[in-house]
Copies of this chain bind each other. A is one copy, B any other.
Amino acid sequence: MEYEAIPGVTLVLGGARSGKSRFAEGLVTRLPGPWIYIATAQAWDDEMRDRIRQHRADRAPGWTTVEAPLDLADALSRHGHGPLLVDCLTLWLTNVMLADRDVPAAFAALEDALAACTGPIVLVGNEVGLGIVPDNALARAFRDHAGRLHQRLAVLASQVFLTVAGLPLKVK
């Protein structure tokens, strides 16, 4: 069965290397372009810069990449009038926490921006809450925030998927 992005928000969750980004890209590229790719990865060093360049080269032509490591709500407001992919929420949340921004305020701004988007929006996030409680307090705070974010986005989403071994389980 082939899914595609539908009006409103589609949330794609999955574990590491579960094929969530590829599945999410397919949801968007099954629609007529042009397509906006909002990249939240931040290039801290040369290795990361190389990986980001590689990811961009791997994408099908027809994508326009917009970098928004922190100001995701802003990028959605500017570009959310056509098919758009955010990859990924998890790096964005990491950036928000590392920049010491107010997390609940950032979530609320994101929800407001999504509500105002007119194009189909696909959001990719890492599901990180199904292992043992981490020893590290920052990791615990991170997974709590990530879980709450996913729940809030799932409420407003039209579709929610969990990818397993590259395959989508439809949750909503």
Residues of chain A whose beta carbon lies under 8 Å from any beta carbon of chain B: 11, 13-19, 127-136, 139, 142-144, 146-148, 150-151, 153-155, 160, 162, 164-167, 169, 171-172
Contacts and interface: CB of A to CB of B under 8 A. Distances in A.
Copies of this chain present in the complex amount to: 3
Contact of A160 (B14, B129, B154, B165): B165
Given A129-B130, A147-B165, 11 more contacts: A14-B129, A15-B147, A17-B129, A17-B144, A17-B150, A19-B151, A127-B164, A128-B133, A129-B131, A132-B143, A153-B165
Contacts of A14: 129
A128 B127 contact: no
Contacts of A136: 135
B13 A127 contact: no
Nearest to A153: B165
A61 to B, nearest CB: 24
Contacts of A167: 154, 160, 171-172
A139 B131 CA distance: 10
